[in-house]
Structure 1
Amino acid sequence: MNRKFKMISLGLSLAGLLALVACQSMEQGTGQKANASLESKSGSTAKGEVTFVWQGNDVLINGKFSGLKPNAEQGFHVHEKGDCSSPDAVSAGGHFNPETKAHGMPNSGMNHAGDLPNIKSDASGNANYTATLHGFAVNTGPTGIVGRSVVVHRDPDDYKSQPAGNSGPRIACGLIK
């Protein structure tokens, strides 16, 4: 009887270990990619292209933007809905926030998954953007951004005002696919 108990115990331990390994692999990326083409909203001329590449626990974000206010910062966020159909992009919903955290500084652990660093434009209103973040995945799972939208706002995110950083109207929006 004791030997039978040990075998059952060993089987359950092995099953638990395999489940843990499976969960960990689901939370890490191995190069999965997604893209978004942002179109102008709210009467602006802002537009852009963004790529997301999942590498381990981090997501590398690269973007190229034009039509922004020169020498300025603009808020930039992943929003919960993949809907940019309204003229003001309000159809994209609020910031992507699967863990129901407060709005905050990206990568602080005290922020929405969709809180991204501000975009900084040059004297011509163009910007190249690079950030490495964690807290979301490049897939369609509960923490995944595929099928959601990415939005540029007119004003800089202050990273403290609730619920969205006081970043103003949405001036560009694109579906992440």
Structure 2
Amino acid sequence: MKKTSIIFLAILMGFTVGCKEVKKETEQKTTESATAKEAVTAKVEVIKIELEPKSDSNVSGTVTFTQENGVVTMVAEMEGLTEGVHAIHIHEKADCSSPDGKSTGGHWNPTLQPHGKWGATTGYHKGDIGNFTADASGKGSITFSTDEWCMGCGDETKDIVGKGVIVHVGTDDFTTQPTGDAGGRISCAGIIK
């Protein structure tokens, strides 16, 4: 009887160890699947557009939008500017056909807020990016990141695809309605996939 009990106990232990190994292997495969799924979900999207001169300026450059993990980062690099501070905004349409850039419409403002500085408690347009400084050689750049934009998601309050980027001749004062008194439009690009 003792021999039978010992054999039974040995079989039971072997079965338990085997089950733990199967469970461990299953958990490892589940973790690997979740990691692979996250890698697919964390897909990076990039839209790079060319700025074209408007209003008889020589301002050109590139704007690159990168979407990753729910955040859109904009990097704009410009040249041909006058030295000093200039405003940059997202406007309603990706239409840069007019010589003065006004074919892009007004600032992109899908939430119907007053014009203001990004993040202000008093409100701001989704297109109110802000100001940047051009150096003595006429070059300027700005980097801006937000989770309030998306690229091609279809949410009318977040989707920047189909909008326009405008560089202004002057500075955004963040208070004058509805434009910030930033002056003429000297460069334009449509945000198109």
Tell me the TM-score normalized by structure 1. 0.78
Pick the aligned partner of 2:165 from 150, 159, 175: 150
Listed as ranges, the gaps of 5+ residues in structure 2 are 1-40
Q: Distance in 1 between matches of 2:43 and 2:131?
A: 26
- Greater Cα offset, 31-40 or 72-81: 31-40
Structure 1 stretches of 4+ moved >4 Å: none
**What corresponds to 2:175 in structure 1?**
160
1:106 and 2:118 equivalent? yes
Tell me which residue corresponds to 1:34.
47
Aligned equivalents of 2:175, 2:133: Cα separation in 1 = 19
Q: Distance in 1 between matches of 2:131 and 2:172?
A: 6
Cα deviation for residue 57 of structure 1 reads 4.0
Give 1:45 shift: 0.7
**Residues 108 and 33 (structure 1), Cα distance of their counterparts in 2 relative to 1, 3 Å cut:** farther
Cα deviation, 1:23-82, whole Å, max 9, x if unaligned, reads xxxxx9842222221100001111110011123343211111001111x11110010011
Q: How does 1:1-177 map to 2 (within 5 A)?
A: 30-70=43-83, 72-108=84-120, 110-139=123-152, 141=154, 142=156, 143-177=158-192
Cα RMSD of the aligned pairs, angstroms, is 1.8
Is contact 1:34–1:146 with CA below 8 Å preserved after alignment? no
Give the distance between the partners of 2:149 and 2:134, measured in 1 at CA: 26
Is contact 1:107–1:134 with CA below 8 Å preserved after alignment?
A: no
Could you say what secondary structure the match of 1:83 adopts?
A: coil
Higher relative contact order (CA 8 A, sep 6+): 1
C-alpha offsets along residues 76-106 of structure 1, whole Å, 9 cap, x if unaligned?
0010011000000100000111111111111
Deviation at 1:140, TM superposition (A): 5.7
The whole-number CA distance in structure 1 between the counterparts of 2:133 and 2:152 is 27
* More helix, by proportion: 2
Amino acid at match of 1:150: V
TM-score (norm 2): 0.72
List gaps (5 residues or longer) in structure 1: 1-27
